[in-house]
Structure 1
Amino acid sequence: MASIIKNRAIVNDDWTVVRPAEDGSLPAVNELPAGKVLVPLALWQASRDALIASRGAAEIGVWLAPDSEPAEIVGDFDRIALIGVDFPVFRDGRGFSIGRLLRERYGYKGELRAIGDVLRDQLAFMFRCGFDAYALRADKDFNDALKAFDEFSVQYQGAVDNPSPLFRRRAAAASASEKVSA
C-alpha cells in the first residue's frame, strides 16, 4: 500500500487516484477500482449521482486540475470525503491558489490533498495555503520530506495557517507588552 503525509505524519493511503486515459476519456463508474477513489472533476460533474449511489460520500474524493475553477465544487463539499489538487509539474503553481481559495474564500474544512509532482521543497508552502495531506512523488523520501515543515521558523506573509502578517504580529506583541508594563 502506498503512503502519504497527512497532518505531518506518514500514513497509509487507501485512496486510488483515477486519471483520464491518454486520449482524455474518462472511465465509466462501473469501471472504477474498488475502494476509495479520487476522481477528476470532469468525471464527478458527469456522473455525480451514479458515483454517490455506487459508493457513498465516504469513498469519493474529487481532484481539481490547475485550470479547474474551485467554485464549481463548493455545493458538493458535503458529498465528498476529500479534495485533491493536481500539481502536474513542479513549476505549475496554480494549485497553491486553488488551495487558498478553497480554504479562505469557500470555507472548505475537509482534507485537502496535493497530488501529482509533489516535492519536499513545496510542502511548507502548500501547508501555508491550506493543504493537510501530500501524496509525494514515488521517488521521494517521506522521512526527509517531513523535515520541510520545520525549516522556516518565521513567515512574513499572512496565509491560511496564520492570517496575520509579521508586522501585525509584532505590533500586537508590542501593544500587549506596553499594557503589561503600564
Structure 2
Amino acid sequence: MGAARRGRRNHRAHCRGLSPRHILRRHEIVVDEWRHLGEEDASDADALIVPLSELRTNSAAWREWRGRLGVRLAAADNVEDLADDIARYALVAVEFPNPSEGRGFSLGRLLRARLRFKGELRAVGAAVKQDKIFLLARCGFDSFELAAGENPAEALGALHRYDVAYQPAEPHPAIKRQRFSSIG
C-alpha cells in the first residue's frame, strides 16, 4: 500500500476519534497498516487479519479477497491446517490471551521451522507485554501488537535487553556453547 493511502486511512481514523495503532515490527515502532476483522475501520482496509475459523467457514469468499490477507491463530488452532495455504498469507498473527498460555510460542517455532513461513509473524493479545518480547523474538516473531497500556519504546528496549540465552535458537548463541567454546 502506498504512503499516501496509508496517510489517508490514518487521517480518517484520526477524524473518527480513533488513534492509529503502533506496533513493534522488525525492531522499529511503526503505525500498523493491518486491521483485524471486526474493528471499526476494517471495512476499508487493504490489509486484513482474519481468524482461522472465519477463513474456514467462508473460504470461497476469502479466496476472492484482493487485498493483503493475514490469518489469526488461537492458541488451540493446529498450525498444520495452514500448510496448503501458507504462501497466501502475508501475515500470521498468533494470539496470546493470558500470561499462562504458552502454546503460541510453539506455534511461532512451527510456522518458521516446519512450514517455512517467511512473512510477518505477529504476537497479539493481552499477554503480549515487554517481559515476553525477547522470548517471542527467539521463537520467530518479528512483530508485536502490544497489550493495552504497554509502552512501545520500553518494549522495544526489551528486545535488546539480553544478548545471551540459555536455550539454543538463532541468531543468539546459547550461553552453554559460549562457555564451552571459551574452555577449549
Aligned-residue identity in percent: 36
Q: Compute the displacement of 1:107 (Å).
A: 1.3
Q: What's the secondary structure of 2:112's corresponding residue?
A: helix
CA distance in 1, matches of 2:178, 2:38: 43
Cα deviation, 1:88-114, whole Å, max 9, x if unaligned, reads 112211111111111122211110000
Q: Which one of 56, 65, 74 corresponds to residue 83 of structure 2?
A: 74
Could you tell me which residue of structure 1 aligns to residue 62 of structure 2?
51
Change (3 A) 1:120 1:150: same
Cα deviation, 1:59-89, whole Å, max 9, x if unaligned, reads 2100100001111112112111100000111
* Runs of 5+ unmatched residues, structure 1: 21-31, 176-182
Q: Which amino acid aligns with 2:34?
A: W
Determine if the alignment matches structure 1 residue 4 to structure 2 residue 13: no
Could you tell me which residue of structure 2 aligns to residue 38 of structure 1?
49
Q: Compute the displacement of 1:171 (Å).
A: 4.3
Could you tell me which residue of structure 2 aligns to residue 114 of structure 1?
123
Q: Which amino acid aligns with 1:119?
A: K
Cα deviation, 1:1-30, whole Å, max 9, x if unaligned, reads 11110001000101112269xxxxxxxxxx
Q: Compute the displacement of 1:49 (Å).
A: 3.2
Could you tell me which residue of structure 2 aligns to residue 168 of structure 1?
177
Could you tell me which residue of structure 1 aligns to residue 114 of structure 2?
105
* Runs of 5+ unmatched residues, structure 2: 1-19
Q: Compute the displacement of 1:45 (Å).
A: 1.7
Q: Over the residues paired in the alignment, what is the CA RMSD in angstroms?
A: 2.0
Q: What's the secondary structure of 2:61's corresponding residue?
A: helix
Q: Which one of 141, 145, 152 corresponds to residue 151 of structure 2?
A: 141
CA distance in 2, matches of 1:12, 1:132: 15
CA distance in 2, matches of 1:123, 1:116: 13
Q: Which one of 130, 141, 155 corresponds to residue 131 of structure 1?
A: 141
Change (3 A) 1:160 1:85: farther
Q: Over alpha carbons, which structure has the higher Rg?
A: 1
Q: Which amino acid aligns with 1:44?
A: L
TM-score (norm 1): 0.80
Q: What's the secondary structure of 1:147's corresponding residue?
A: helix
Q: Which amino acid aligns with 2:44?
A: A
TM-score (norm 2): 0.79
Could you tell me which residue of structure 1 aligns to residue 37 of structure 2?
18
Change (3 A) 1:63 1:160: farther
